[in-house]
Structure 1
Amino acid sequence: MPIIQHTPEGVFPPYRNYSHAVEVKGDARLLFISGLNGYHEDGQSMPDAFEAQGELIWKHIGTILKSAAMDYTNIISVRTYLADPSFDEANVQLRMKYLGNNKPSLTVICCQLLEKKWKLEVEVVAAKD
């Protein structure tokens, strides 16, 4: 299953772990992971720190990907909701840690999240043939 990154001339250069567009060709399975928060496995508690919530979220994403016989390299799109723009650099560092050389399409939105204790929410689309 070819995954093609589109970064055409006439658009600003892509930045860290980012592609302007990602195309999936051929027959593929698509996995849509709902927006995840940094809850521990008990579903009730979560750490206060942004980085700790982010680590849990990315580990949950990895667990869900594994359940579909995928891994982080299969991610083709990431949408992150940040509770505050000051979390941007820490968010980039987490994304780079878990995505490595993978450069999916990305969107980061700063907004008020449903619960005040949430620092971020991340949703993902992955593809595999």
Structure 2
Amino acid sequence: MAITHLNPEGVFPPYRNYSHAVEISGDSKLLIISGLNGYQPDGQTMPESFEEQGELIWKHIGTILRSAGMSYANIVSLRTYLRDPSFDEANVRLRMKYLGDNKPASTVVCCQLLETKWKLEIEVMAAKSVG
């Protein structure tokens, strides 16, 4: 499987820590992670702050990735839903912390989330060669 980050000339330069597109080819395993929220492991309680919710979500993502034999380096796409645009900078910091040099395709949407206590929700796609 080949993962190619595509940032072609003629398209505006990518913002921090993402690629415009990621091409996946060959035999691979694709992991699609549903939108996750910042719930504690009990599934009931959630911290108040954006940063604490974000840390929990990224830890949950790591746990799911490891269960599939993957790591943050295998993430090829992120979709982040923010309750408020003022959370963007903190969101970028979290993304940079957990992704390091990995620059997946990424979209950030500001919208009303299902629960008022949710400050963000993140969906992930990850891929890995099976051969």
The TM-score range, normalised by the shorter chain, is over 0.9
1 CA distance for matches of 2:7 and 2:92? 20
- The aligned residue for residue 106 of structure 1 is 106
Matches within 5 A, 1:12-91: 12-91=12-91
| Residues 27-84 of structure 1: CA deviation (Å, up to 9, x unaligned) | 1000000000000000000000000000000000000000000000000000000000
2 CA distance for matches of 1:32 and 1:78? 10
- The aligned residue for residue 115 of structure 1 is 115
2 CA distance for matches of 1:102 and 1:15? 13
Q: Report the Cα offset of residue 106 of structure 1.
A: 0.2
- More deviation, 9-18/37-46: 9-18
Q: Report the Cα offset of residue 120 of structure 1.
A: 0.1
Q: Report the Cα offset of residue 103 of structure 1.
A: 0.4
Q: Say which SS state the counterpart of residue 12 (structure 1) adopts.
A: coil
- More deviation, 6-15/43-52: 6-15
Q: Report the Cα offset of residue 2 of structure 1.
A: 1.3
2 CA distance for matches of 1:46 and 1:111? 19
Q: Say which SS state the counterpart of residue 59 (structure 1) adopts.
A: helix
Structure 1's consecutive aligned runs of 4 or more residues displaced over 4 angstroms after TM superposition are none
Q: Report the Cα offset of residue 25 of structure 1.
A: 1.1
Is there any run of 5+ residues in structure 1 with no aligned partner, and where? Answer: none
Q: Report the Cα offset of residue 16 of structure 1.
A: 1.0
**TM superposition score normalised by structure 1:** 0.99
**TM superposition score normalised by structure 2:** 0.98
2 CA distance for matches of 1:16 and 1:9? 17
Aligned residues with identical type, % of pairs? 75
**RMSD between aligned alpha carbons?**
0.4
1 CA distance for matches of 2:13 and 2:35? 28
2 CA distance for matches of 1:17 and 1:65? 19
